[in-house]
Structure formats: structure tokens, C-alpha cells
Structure 1
């Protein structure tokens, strides 16, 4: 905006005199205004650009101090650019991008979602926008170097919506506020409909009971007055949604509803004024009441379907008990917590952040995160998660992640991503509903014209009936209601859908491919057997071995420590500990030298004890002293519980099951034999795994890939549907369409069953919605349905779809 000379002596923004020779100006309220300095010019331009010109239009005096120079609304939005303010709801995305979690107020329909997403995606610096219709929660990723968060919030405000940082408690408060508003509208519509219906009884019975014209006319005027609250208050959300749809060029189901209401009400007013013709106040108020009732029930059902996901973040406490530098406990807001702080979780309290136990021993309930119903033991060194509940004893925890960086927040982001992405069936239903709306409006015009030629007195009745009876509400709800209900059900069982298409693709799977290590097996060696050869008992040999390994980080060391703990034995004192990489460890226990490792560790002993063969998948660790071998420890990765049951259940469904592993041929063959899997491939590199999946897909197979490691991430991304183990790497979880939060492998089989059941429910919903509309439309067009019948039929149709979907819960 160029600077222009202005004859006005005072700055339009701050009121101070404009220095001579100054040429700063800004266009405010469509006129160029003089500014005293570049600062006032910049602020004025920001106020205009952000749609806050009302600041100038309605101000009654010039600002008296510096704080008054910037409107409160603009200052409040600019606060969201401050790093400390962003800490609780903004996370760092790859590169220079940031990701914010926001709540949008004012969302009433799918068109609102479309409008906001379309507008924001056009802004420079916005990488991704996804808004969840069910939760009204927005995930926005932007480049901080190109656009500020405050600018994004202002753009949302320009559309007539309000966005603010996400808070589970605040979202619940907004949801409660919306529920109360919906109930008020429903109550007003119910009262209006009840009163108008009583008057309608008299009007319907009047001709046969000798009702005088003057009395009938008075009753019509009473009906008009009683209909006004329902028409102008209760039905207002329909008009708002319809108008937004018209402005955006996306006609939704609210357009025919609003047309029907407005047409019917206008025609009834005209008939009342003339004292002749039919009035439809009873039908209109009843329609509004039934529509609001159905939507109220549908909203409640939708909110119930996501309560499992919402409970995740809602259970994280707002405050934490921190151990300060003076070793004193202090209660602080959660947003003040930092990585490295020490916090204390008392018995019965919810853990406030992710961390590592530094002191104490207890158990924690992580059921909301993992679906695991039993409390898990937590000792020094154990990892704990925000949102889990500490049970028996106090725990001192060193914080490793807070806010948006916790595991629970990551799970919530995956849930949002899944709910924001529309499955193909949902997109198909939306397209059909959109086309149906256009076809319906065309049919209304055509049928109206025909009836105008046949019987002008029935035109209004027929048009109103068609608009009401054929509203595609049930069609639009057919798929989303089912997907939401099934997704909620699976989350409760520890199965997290992270992609919108996951459930739909899972129902079509023909071939399930497993990685072995960490998927079908535990992914770590476990002590299977101790074979003693000398006079020392097996228990004492274990005690010596665990003592030698007590300072080691090797995976075998953990197995020895777990076995020692299970046997309720203690370590011996260890002196002169040492290790030889690739061979083993050694040291003095009770003054005697011992060796623990492979046969290369102690080559001075030539005589190796004979022992029975071990399984191909097992490894032998030898314990010896200076003269002889004392014991052999058989170590092997173990199958996960229910791995065999899962494989058999998948086979019973007619699915092909394969193993695709990078492990040795003998090891993979052994596990495949024990699981009853005939199709397997060993020593496969990530590239070979990817090539094999592509070959299967070229043969027409629909692949479900189950994996947990970094090398599984490319294959997980390539498969039609991928299942990542919750205990796997972050890269694998990010690539997975489904994340198994717990360790219950049988939930994979249950997820497939649920996906197939969901597909059947959606087909039933589609059949009912399309069948109802196709059947009702001819009856309405030929005048065989009364408007009140249409109102009941349309509402019941939507209700049936929602209730059928809730069977999935």
C-alpha cells in the first residue's frame, strides 16, 4: 500500500500530530487515512487485513496509551505466536514445519469442513489441513517462515468460525454447551409441534363437526403464531447450513430441508391470510421436531463412538507433583513441566507425563493405551506413560516427554488422522447424496410443473412432500456411523485404526504376511533351559551367570536377570569383570574365575560336554571355570502367546498366511513348522521383502502385512493394509494403517471379523437408504403421501441407519 500525502494533521490510528513531510497512510473503511509513522501504518494495515475494521468504526475515542493502539482481539490472536503459549498444543513436524491441534467452533455440517479445509489449503505456507467432523478438531501443519499461527486463526475467523487451542477439558465443555443448545431447540420444537398438533385436530375434524369459518380462521392464526418459535429458532441451524452450502457451491441435505420448510411456511401464511387453502403448520413443526430428534440422537451416538479416543487425552491431569531442587514436592500446572524434571505419582493418581521410573516399585493400569486389562509391574528403569494410573506405591519418575510429544498424544494424533480421512465408501455415499440432492431438486421442479397443469391446489402439498420424504440424510449417515462405531469398539480392545481406509481394506484381505521377529515372536532371547554338567546345581549356575551379566547391556544379560528374579535369588559379588566382544564375559565370583559365552571364550578347555540337540532357532551359552564347562544355557526367542491360535483362526477364514523374515533359513523354517505355516521366506532384505509383496499383489492378492521393525516400514507402506505392533519402532507405527497397542495377537483376527461385520452393516444401511428413497419418491410424486407421513418416514429412516450402525459397538 503506497504512502500518500494527506491533509489531515492527526494520525487516524493513534491521534498524534502527523509530522510535516511524513507520507504514511493506510486505506481504512475504504478511504485513505493519514498515519504519523510506519508503526501506526503497519498496525492499521494488519487490523484491516484481519477483518477487524469494526475497531475503527465503533471506537468512541482515540487510544490513551500504547496498549490501546492494538485491538484486544488482534492482540489475543498474536499471543498464539509465542513459543511458550504454543508449547501445550503445537508440536514440531519434520523440517521447519509445525503442527497445531485446534478446536473449531461453529461447525454444523460436512460443508463447513470442506469450506475451512479448502480455504486454508490455498494459503501460502500451509502444508496440510485435516478437520474431524465428529470431534470438530483440526490438525494444521504450516511453515513458520511463511505464515504465522495467528494469521491462520484470523483466516478461520473471516469464514465465520472460531478456532482455539485444543484441550480435552475445553472440548468437553464446548460439547456440553452444544448439547444443551441442541436440547433447547429440540424442546422448543416439541412444544410448538405439540400445541400446533392439538389445534390441527380441531381443524381436521372441523368440517364434519360444524366448525364455523371464523373459528377455523382464528385457529389458523393461532397455529401461525405457535409455529414461529420452531420455524425461526429451532430450525435455524438448517438455514445456516443450507446458506453456507449455497455460498460454497456444495448443496447438502439441508438445502431441500430448508426449501421445504420455507416453501411450506410461506404457502401456509398465504393461505391463512386469504382464508382459503391448506395450511401445514402441524407438518412443519413436526418435521422440525423429528429432524432435531434424529440429529440429537445421531450426535449422541457419534460422540459415544469417539469417547474411547477422547478419554485418552481427557485422563491426562492438568497438574503434576514435581520434586524441586530442594527435594520438596510442589504442585505445578502441566504446561510448566519440562523434560528432565522429577515428578512423583502417588498411589491412585494418574501419571502426568511419559518418563522413566527412578525410584519405587508399583503397578500401572495402561488399559486405555494398550487394551491390556491387567496392571503392569513398574520398577526402577521401567517406562511409564502419561494417562496411565499408578496403583500400589509412590513412583519417582524422570520426565522424558510432555504435552504433544507423549505417547498418548501421538496415539490421539493417529486417531484424528484416521477419523479425518474418509474411507472410499464414505466418499461414495457423499457423492451419491450430493448428486441425489441435485436430482431431487430437479424432480421437485418437474413434478411441481406437472401438478401445476393437473391440479394447482395440490402443488404446494406435493412439492413439500417430495422435499421432505426424499432428503438423503440416511444415505449420508450410512457409512460414517458404521465406521465410527466400529473404530470406537476396536480402540477399546487395543486396536488403533490410524488410516481412514484401514477397516474397509481389512475386510477385503486375502493374504496375511507376518514378519517373524517381534511379531510372531517376542523379539528377544529368553532362557529356555539350564543343563548342569558338574557338581554345581543348575540354580547355582544360573546365579553365577546372572552375576557375571549384572552390568552388561547385552540382550542375553536381560534374560539372565529376569530368570534370576523369577527364581527369587540374589546376585553374588562380582570382581575383575571383563568382556571379549563377540565371545562373552568373565569375572571373579566368590574368589573364583568364571567365563560365560560361546565356545571361543575359553579355548583352554578342550573337552566339550555332550548334550542333546537343541532346536535350530536356539543359541547355547556356556558357563565354565578354568578347568571345565559347568553348565549350558539354552536361549531362544519365544513365540508370542496365541500366535498358533491366530494362525489357525486366519486359516479357518480362508486366508493365506506367510512368513517374510530376514532371519536365517533354519530359524524361520523351525518357527514356520511349529506354527503350521507352509509359505515362508528367509534371509530377505527390505528390498526383497518389497519385491515379494509386489509379486503377490500382481497375482491379485489383497495383502495385510504385520511387522514391527524399521526394516518393515517400506513393506508396511506398500501393503494394501498394514498392521504395526505397538511395541515396535516409531517408524513402523507411523507406516501402519492399524496399530496393535497391546500384545494380544488374537486381536488381529478380531479386527478382521469386525471389518467384515462393518462392511455388511454398511451394505445394509445403503440398501435401506436407497430402497427407502426409491420407494417413497413415486408415492410422494403421485400424491399418495401426506406431508406429515413424509416427515415421519424421513426421520425414522435416518434413525434406523444410526441404530443399525450401533450394533457394532
Structure 2
């Protein structure tokens, strides 16, 4: 038996769930189907001897829910292991910590009621035994991180925690053995348990976000298009490839396996493998590495004998290898400096009490060390951001770069692509024109032969509009981003693109929005398209305008079509016939004016603008090149971007609340502890409540219940005149 995980982005209603499950169970070999609607995932157990993966994909597509396989068996192993380990340690701390507190109750009663010394000694020893698993096993992650920080000469938040837990426990052991002094076994157990609880909640939220976002990490690299002996392309699993197979990769796509280039030449982005940001030019016969992005193509490669390493096996997507954000670096610097200062403050306070009252120096020093621990500060940002990412993942927004989510709160300018982003093109079959000397069916076959080599929305719409049949093979294909496709079809050199792409003057409207098919320099067909506007686009644009954002529509489409859509959406600033360079220039001009820019696009012609924008947003069905640049990926409704901004603003408010609370707590608690007015057990309780309060406050973040069009208060946001 084989088990596979499928991501089904349109699995959004009980009707679709029932339809998909019914079609899958009809297939011979399917043994079990389990559906997770919230994560848009279907887990299928089937007999590989009776059923192949492509048939599963075909069954889902027949129900109107296209599916993509996911590398679930490796994708979240690290997250799952960390989550399970944190849960075990937290349960141990909770179980034995409760026992330590029960034994401590007898000691507290002994302060008010006389209890014989042997009973007090017994319960001290019982407390020692109960706290031992907590300090030795449950608290081990704090020791490990503290030792790693000390080896690097950079103590962090875990350093004072480890020092405090060790000192309190060892001092309590000494008191239990000698019978002199106070024991704090319950306090140290409570300290470890509450800190582990906070970290477990953060890990749990991160794990759930990772599960909801698996589709982004392993979509097309697990499936590729293989060319058969007749030259036709078929979708197959990467694991089914064999030596000598020819694999086709669209421009903007990711190379799924290692191989040898069969095409004449191609430009690749191999930054995820080599760290080199400049494109690499590869020629026929050269090796192609899995995970490379195709900048101009398409390309074809032959799978070699030992070249079956799939791109999905790479440790992370390219954006995960980028240098850490300034926010992350600043946070690590803060915790390092604070850790050093806290240790210095504790030593100074202890030395001062050694001079005035040596008997209380240790207790006061431990209280200061515990109560001043910056756990609340350290948890404030990761807890809030992780919760925000999990909430947005449920709404269909995958946050791949948290700094983009933070920038979204103060964005001023929204740039929108049109074709494939706001609208989905559809070929108007009854208006297709074949010029004199050419048959309509022949030109459609030739146009589809070129179009199926491209991932552009217009090319996809053309391929889907024509029923599969005897389509010829296009050879020597080259694609110009934002322009068109050239290639040889049945011995003729044809080109497919916008009017003027082939530098040929054709009669008609200069703003013609159709695709033209050229034979050398002669136009032989005109293929018009109609736009289908995504349902939530008007509400999304209105919501952002009401929030004071400047909205710009920049498209490579015709003036008439872009102008009509802009008028329909109420967008005053619109630009047609935009090349990738034009879009990039407009984004940079807005940034030079002081605007924080959000760019929403899905194609390779948007990649440069997405890379330059402060907030890059792409669609899950967009090209790999666009998704790599994106910090936010929309897996469903495009209108979710409005709620993403609302959640980001609310997350910023909660983060500021957490930081203010942590600051107020330290300002009030540290002087009390330093003056000897707070015992170690009370310091443990105060610090634990502070840290747990930060996590619970972050968990209050929810999806906004107000309609998407409602206003949202954004700090520093400009209001339109």
C-alpha cells in the first residue's frame, strides 16, 4: 500500500468534499480517503499495483477540484519532532510540578501550625524527588540553549532561566539535606512548567500553520510534464521518471529533477543552490540542477541514470535561504544584551546584600534573576507573528516572509497586475479569425502547439479552450516575457503573441487585445479573449481605497481593456501595455516618493516588481518565479488580502500591548525584588504569569468578523483627500 497527500485548493464546501471522495473511491485500488477541509488536503491510501498517481489527479480534476501531490512524509518532520518533544517535557513538568506543590502545601501549613521536624523533613525530601524530573529532564532545552550561547559568548534569554533553575534547585537540595533554610521545589517546578507551556503553545501554532501551508512548499516539483514517443506531454509523478525521459518545464517554473539540457539554450536562476543571484546561461548538453528556476524558456531535459534527485527534496525554498531580517537580528541582539545585563545586575544586587545582610543575599539574588528574565519580551514577537500566520493560513493566506506581513500594516500604495491576477482570460471561440488561405482548425492546432509550451494565463486559457486532439509538436521554442512565443510547428516558423510582438504591421485597432498567430512576418489568425473578473476583486479594491491606499493597475494588456476594467473598479491610476521593466520602474518611483508598496501579481513579467516591492503578494497558481519572490501567497480567494491587512494591523496592536505589559512588569517587579520585598517563589509566580499572559494575549488574535470592506485603523496611514 502507498499513501499520498494531495492539496486541493478548491476543497471549500461539503458538496465538493463528497464529490471528490466519491470519485476517488470509485477508482480500483483506493483503500482509504481522509479529508482535511481546513488545510485543503486529501490523504489517499491506495494499491500502487492497481492504481497510478496520475489517475488520482485526473479523478480530482474531473470533479472540478484540481489536485497537486505533496511531500508530506518529509515536509514537517522537524516541526512535528519539536512539537512532540515540547509536549512530553511540558507534561512531565506539569505532572511532577503538581506533586511538588502538593508537598509544599504541608510546608506552608507548617508556618502557621506546629508540625514535627521529621514530617517537615519528609516532605522536603518528597519535594526534592518530585522536582528532580522537572529540573533534570523537562528543563533540559533551557540548559542546552544556555550552554550553546555561552560557548558562542552570546548568552540569551535561556541563560538566566537555566542559571535560576539550577541555583534554586541546588540551594533547595542543600536546605533539604541540612535542614536549614527554605526550599523552593514547587517554585522551580512552576517556573519550568509555565515557560514550557508558553513555548509549547507557540510551537503548536507554528505546527498548525506549517500543516496549512504545506501546499506552497511542494506543489509542482512532485509532478512534471513528460514527453512521450509521439511528442505529447503528460503529467506524471517525479518519482516515476526513468533514465532517458524527456521532461518539459515552462518558463517561470522550477526544474523538478537533475538532468541534461535538451533545448538549445536557457537562462536559469540557481540562487537556491549556489547563492549566486545572477542568471546562469545553460546550453544544450550541459547539466541542469533540480530546484533551478527557468527565467526564459521553456526547457526540455533528459533524465540521467543517477539524476533522480527531486527538487522537493531540497531543504527549503529559496526565500528561506535569504539573510535574516533586520527585525530578527535586532531581536537577537536585544536578548543577548539583556541577558548579559541581567546577569550583571544579579551579581551587583547579591554583592550589595552580602554587605548589608549576607543571610538574604542568595534569596534576593535569585529573585532578581528570575523576576527580571526577559521571557515576556522574547515571546512577544514570535507568539504574535506565529498566531497571525496561523490565522491567515486558515483564510488562505500563506505568510512565507513575516517581515512582509509587518510591512503590510503601513503600506500606502497597491500595484495590481490584471491578466491572471484580477481576471482570468477565456478564448472567444466563435470570434476566432483565420485569414485567407488558412483553415480555422489548422491555425487553432498550431496556436495550441505553441501555447501549451507556456505558463502564461492567456496560453493556459487557449489550451483549455480547445479539446485535446492531434496537436502537433512545437520545436525550438523561445518565450519572451511579456511578449509572446516563437517556435517551429510542422516545419513552419510561427509566433504567437500580442499585436506588434512580431514587429509586423497588421490592419485593425492599435489597442487590439487579441493574440495573433504569425507565419514568418504574415499574420494568419486572430484569437480574441474575454476577461472574467474574479468575484471578490471589486470589494477588495473598494476596501483598500477606503483605507487610504493608492491603487494602481499596471498591465501588459490593451489600453481599451485595461481602461474598461479600471473604470469598472474605480481605479483612476492605470497603465496599459506595461513591460516587466515598466512595472518595476513604477514600483521604484512610488518607493522613491516615500510610499510603502504592495505588489500583487502572478507571472514572470511581475517577478521583478514583486522582488522590489515592500510587500510581495502572489497566487498559488502563479509561476514558481513569482511565488519565490512573494512574502504572502493567496491560495484561494483574492479578497483575503484585505483580511490579511486587518489581521496584520491587529497583530501589531497586540504586539505593542505585549511589549508594554512586559516593560511595565519589569519596571515594577525588578525594584521590588532588588529591595528584598519579593521572595523567590513569588518572583517565579510573577515571571511565569507575565510570560504566559503574553502568549495568551497573542492567542486572542482572530479573523476579523467585519465585512472585508470595512475601514481599518492603520498607524501613520494617509487619508485620501
TM-score w.r.t. the length of structure 2 is: 0.61
Larger relative contact order (C-alpha < 8 A, sep ≥ 6)? 2
Correspondence for 1:805 among 693, 698, 702: 698
How far does residue 188 in structure 1 lie from its aligned partner after superposition?
Answer: 4.3
Structure 1: how far apart are the matches of 2:620 and 2:213?
16
Residue deviations 1:640-677 (CA, integer Å, cap 9, x gap): 44333322222121110112334454443333223221
Structure 1: how far apart are the matches of 2:119 and 2:243?
78
Contact 2:76 2:210 in 1 (8 A): no
Q: Does 1:229 align with 2:124?
A: no
Correspondence for 1:238 among 142, 154, 175: 142
Structure 1: how far apart are the matches of 2:687 and 2:423?
53
Contact 1:287 1:788 in 2 (8 A): no
Contact 2:71 2:222 in 1 (8 A): no
Q: Which residue matches 1:209?
A: 113
Q: Does 1:679 align with 2:546?
A: no
Structure 2 runs not aligned, ≥5 long: 1-69, 230-235, 248-255, 258-301, 434-438, 452-457, 472-489, 498-503, 518-525, 703-721
Q: Does 1:279 align with 2:174?
A: no
Residue deviations 1:131-157 (CA, integer Å, cap 9, x gap): xxxxxxxxxxxxxxxxxxxxxxxxxxx
Contact 1:527 1:559 in 2 (8 A): no
Structure 1: how far apart are the matches of 2:362 and 2:429?
83
Residue 492 and residue 404 in structure 1: after superposition, are their counterparts in 2 closer, same or farther (change >3 A)?
Answer: farther
Structure 2: how far apart are the matches of 1:756 and 1:529?
48
Structure 2: how far apart are the matches of 1:304 and 1:701?
34
Q: Which residue matches 2:601?
A: 707
Residue deviations 1:499-558 (CA, integer Å, cap 9, x gap): 342111222210011233333333x453297699xxxxxxxxxxx956873554277998
Contact 2:610 2:630 in 1 (8 A): yes
Residue 429 and residue 616 in structure 1: after superposition, are their counterparts in 2 closer, same or farther (change >3 A)?
Answer: same
Q: Which residue matches 1:252?
A: 156
SS in structure 1 at match of 2:156? coil
Contact 1:301 1:806 in 2 (8 A): no
How far does residue 460 in structure 1 lie from its aligned partner after superposition?
Answer: 2.0
Correspondence for 1:457 among 327, 348, 359: 359
Correspondence for 2:630 among 736, 741, 755: 736
How far does residue 246 in structure 1 lie from its aligned partner after superposition?
Answer: 0.9
Contact 1:659 1:681 in 2 (8 A): yes
Structure 1: how far apart are the matches of 2:315 and 2:633?
9
Q: Does 1:482 align with 2:380?
A: no
Contact 1:689 1:715 in 2 (8 A): yes
TM-score w.r.t. the length of structure 1 is: 0.55
Q: Does 1:305 align with 2:209?
A: yes
Residues matched between the structures, number: 530
Structure 1: how far apart are the matches of 2:459 and 2:210?
43
Q: Which residue matches 1:526?
A: 427
Contact 1:526 1:638 in 2 (8 A): no
Correspondence for 1:503 among 405, 416, 422: 405
Q: Which residue matches 2:369?
A: 467
How far does residue 745 in structure 1 lie from its aligned partner after superposition?
Answer: 2.7
How far does residue 410 in structure 1 lie from its aligned partner after superposition?
Answer: 8.5
Residue deviations 1:268-311 (CA, integer Å, cap 9, x gap): 34434543322223322332333333333333333223222347
Contact 2:213 2:398 in 1 (8 A): no
Structure 2: how far apart are the matches of 1:755 and 1:733?
20
**Aligned-CA RMSD value:** 4.9
Correspondence for 1:433 among 331, 335, 342: 335
How far does residue 431 in structure 1 lie from its aligned partner after superposition?
Answer: 2.9
SS in structure 2 at match of 1:802? helix
How far does residue 750 in structure 1 lie from its aligned partner after superposition?
Answer: 2.9
How far does residue 565 in structure 1 lie from its aligned partner after superposition?
Answer: 7.2
Residue 316 and residue 227 in structure 1: after superposition, are their counterparts in 2 closer, same or farther (change >3 A)?
Answer: farther
SS in structure 2 at match of 1:193? helix
Residue 482 and residue 746 in structure 1: after superposition, are their counterparts in 2 closer, same or farther (change >3 A)?
Answer: same
Contact 2:103 2:127 in 1 (8 A): yes
SS in structure 1 at match of 2:419? helix
How far does residue 335 in structure 1 lie from its aligned partner after superposition?
Answer: 5.0
Structure 2: how far apart are the matches of 1:800 and 1:719?
36
Structure with the greater alpha carbon radius of gyration:
1
Instruction: Output aligned runs, 1:691-702, within 5 Å.
Output: 691-702=585-596
Structure 2: how far apart are the matches of 1:233 and 1:676?
62
SS in structure 1 at match of 2:213? helix
Residue 489 and residue 414 in structure 1: after superposition, are their counterparts in 2 closer, same or farther (change >3 A)?
Answer: farther
